[in-house]
């Protein structure tokens, strides 16, 4: 019995088991086994196979965005519209066969946009180069899920299921669970909140399934058994996702309105170039980037060349971006902008910068 058969058996078992207090331990064990088999499935095969065509693209720019979707939903058309790269687009499926990168220039930042081949159902098991596509998506900062507005709901649930099964968690935060395996002393279990979905017995059962008999577990929020399994496995990627419904020119206004009101969703039309500017604004918000301008003493700030950093970056990050030896020679910095109480304010290395601040660094 192969891994795929085992996975489908467990999925069937979970589907036909009633959810109640008596079966929660059984379900928890099944979920742990399922996560274990899926992890085995993702591991590359040990047998030496011939080297295929390279798929991953070198990371460049300030952020990376992956386009994921079924074949013929308009990913390549979107890439050609947004960037100067021309990706081949045609009315038949699987026009794009490898990863095609492009660069969006927006607010002084270079955002790398990856046009990935279409995913089909069963991609997580390796159908249609699905594994390589999903592996590239794991390295992105934000995922744009392209959906056909005429059949969006089915596509969305299928794609979420595929990404979920390979450890990509969309628009979720990391569970607040402290977990540390130990050499001895058994399993010590504690929680700072009332748990409604997990119990000590269930946690022990799941840990035993992973052959962990000594560990420290502390729940700081009410988490499900699935989230606890994610913490044990530890290779999960939590990333923001934008659901983009393309081809809105083919559906009614009421339907467009309904789709646009969903959380994390945008409606666009690549064919008629509708709503693309709003999508860029939203993408900038999701990437959480900040522009910081530099200033030399006695001169005006240089607003042409911004330093692009992640939200919450400190003065030290700015120093490292300019030159790696600058932080060690740092004396103080003068900052103008919204992060200060008055302008200019004299700050140290730990000061947190905000969007469009101006900084002047003074060395020792």
Q: Is the pTM of the predicted complex or chain greater than 0.85? A: no
**Per-residue model confidence as pLDDT tens digits over 257-316:** 888 888 888 888 877 888 888 888 888 888 888 888 888 888 888 888 888 888 888 888
Neighbouring-strand partners of residue 105: 110
Question: Does the residue 223 lie in any domain?
Answer: yes
Domain boundary among 217, 233, 249: 233
| Judgement on whether residues 298 and 249 belong to the same structural domain of the protein | no
Nearest residue to 3 via CA among 36, 46, 49? 36
Lowest mean pLDDT among 98-102, 107-111, 327-331: 98-102
Question: Does the residue 316 lie in any domain?
Answer: yes
Of the pLDDT bands very low, low, confident and very high (cuts 50, 70, 90), residue 50 is: very low
Of the pLDDT bands very low, low, confident and very high (cuts 50, 70, 90), residue 54 is: low
Question: Does the residue 179 lie in any domain?
Answer: yes
Neighbouring-strand partners of residue 63: 111
| Judgement on whether residues 303 and 277 belong to the same structural domain of the protein | no
CATH at 105: 3.40.50.300
| Judgement on whether residues 317 and 352 belong to the same structural domain of the protein | yes
Question: Does the residue 260 lie in any domain?
Answer: yes
| Judgement on whether residues 262 and 132 belong to the same structural domain of the protein | yes
| Judgement on whether residues 163 and 184 belong to the same structural domain of the protein | no
pLDDT of residue 127: 59
| Judgement on whether residues 148 and 279 belong to the same structural domain of the protein | yes
| Judgement on whether residues 109 and 164 belong to the same structural domain of the protein | yes
| Judgement on whether residues 69 and 110 belong to the same structural domain of the protein | yes
Question: Does the residue 57 lie in any domain?
Answer: no
Residues 6 or more apart from 35 whose CB is under 8 A from it? 229, 230, 233
Using the CB atoms, write b or e for 245-273: b if 16+ within 10 Å.
Answer: bbbbeebeeebbeebeeeeebbbbbbeee
Domain housing 187? 3-44+175-233
Question: Does the residue 54 lie in any domain?
Answer: no
| Judgement on whether residues 257 and 138 belong to the same structural domain of the protein | yes
Question: Does the residue 113 lie in any domain?
Answer: yes
Domain count, the chain: 3
| Judgement on whether residues 115 and 209 belong to the same structural domain of the protein | no
What is the C-alpha separation between 361 and 334, in angstroms, rounded?
A: 6
| Judgement on whether residues 318 and 303 belong to the same structural domain of the protein | yes
Helix (H) / strand (E) containing 231: helix 225-233
């Amino acid at each position: 019995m192969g891994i795929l058969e085992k996975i489908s058996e467990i999925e069937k078992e979970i589907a036909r088991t009633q959810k109640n207090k008596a079966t929660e331990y059984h379900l928890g064990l099944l979920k742990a086994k399922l996560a274990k088999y899926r992890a085995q499935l993702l591991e590359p095969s040990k047998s030496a196979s011939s080297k295929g065509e390279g798929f991953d693209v070198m990371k460049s720019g300030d952020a990376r965005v992956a386009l994921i979707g079924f074949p013929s939903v308009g990913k390549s058309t979107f890439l050609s519209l947004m960037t100067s790269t021309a990706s081949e687009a045609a009315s038949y499926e699987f026009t794009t066969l490898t990863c095609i990168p492009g660069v969006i220039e927006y607010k002084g930042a270079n955002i790398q946009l990856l046009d990935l081949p279409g995913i089909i159902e069963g991609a997580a098991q390796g159908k249609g180069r699905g594994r390589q596509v999903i592996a590239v998506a794991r390295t992105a900062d934000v995922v744009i899920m392209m959906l056909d507005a005429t059949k969006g709901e089915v596509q969305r649930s299928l794609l979420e299921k595929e990404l979920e099964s390979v450890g990509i968690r969309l628009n979720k935060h990391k569970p607040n669970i402290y977990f540390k395996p130990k050499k001895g002393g058994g399993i010590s279990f504690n929680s700072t909140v009332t748990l409604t979905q997990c119990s000590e017995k269930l946690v022990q059962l799941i840990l035993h399934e992973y052959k962990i008999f000594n560990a420290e577990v502390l729940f700081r929020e009410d988490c499900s058994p699935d989230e606890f399994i994610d913490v044990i496995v530890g290779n999960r990627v939590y990333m923001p996702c934008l659901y983009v419904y393309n081809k809105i020119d083919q559906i009614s206004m009421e339907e467009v309105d309904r789709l646009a009101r969903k959380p994390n969703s945008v409606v666009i039309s690549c064919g008629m170039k509708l709503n693309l500017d709003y999508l860029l604004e939203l993408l900038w918000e999701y990437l959480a980037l900040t522009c910081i301008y530099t200033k030399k003493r006695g001169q005006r700030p240089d607003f042409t060349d911004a330093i692009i950093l992640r939200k919450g970056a400190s003065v030290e990050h700015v120093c490292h971006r300019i030159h790696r030896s600058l932080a060690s020679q740092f004396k103080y910095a003068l900052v103008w902008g919204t992060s200060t109480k008055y302008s200019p304010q004299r700050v140290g290395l730990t000061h947190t910068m905000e969007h469009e601040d101006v900084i002047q660094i003074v060395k020792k």
